[in-house]
Amino acid sequence: MRHIIDCLIEHKQSFSKESLISCISKLGIVGSYLTRNPDKTVYIIKTIVPEHFTLCLYYPSVNRIEYFDSSGSNDTIFFKDSIPFSAKLITQNELLGRKKKCLEKEITDFNVCMSLTSIFTEAKFVSINTKDLQISDDDAYCQSWVLLYAYIRFVYPKYTTKAALEFLHSLSKSQLYNLIVCWWKYIIYLPTEQLKKTAYIEAYNRLFS
């Protein structure tokens, strides 16, 4: 996983006492999921909000941003042809009689949306996770949740957005906590020196091919 380096963009925006800083490296903050098919390229962007780490997945081929916050958001999501949509944003725009990019409800989500849609012009933004996954008082693993979500989406088992959320939402409080602790241990004890060896990388790739 890449650290926050070689920043091309550092965008700061504040609408109240809270502020958001998002920083995108040359390959995306935690890397980018690139395929031979450019239509399937996804940029993985770790997004920093006050005292918390979250994640944005940017799909350039369709100009869409999926925002994942392990603490959940106050939205209602529905899927059409496997694409997530915000029901509350649609309702808000119908009531206002004009089209807005961001749901004007939670200040942090609103700041993230306004910042990212100014970086990726006219991108469609949806906050996809509507359940608090960190419900255990001992769960302070927001950075680990960010990496875990990217992993189950693009490495193993390569779930779709809908399938990944359904899986996480099906878990109990104790199951969620056990899952993230095990994942944290996996990251901490991962033999990173081995990752520099071609033979190790090839063997690892074969596991998930």
Taking the chain (209 residues) in runs of 10, the rounded mean pLDDT of each run is 31 36 41 58 84 90 94 92 91 82 84 87 92 96 93 88 95 95 89 76 70
Domain residue spans of the chain: 9-207
- Sign, Cα dihedral of 70, 103, 167, 23: negative
Instruction: Check residue 37 and give its pLDDT.
Output: 63
- Sign, Cα dihedral of 193, 196, 200, 204: positive
User: Counting Cβ atoms within 10 Å, is residue 198 exposed (0-12), middle (13-18) or buried (19+)?
Assistant: exposed
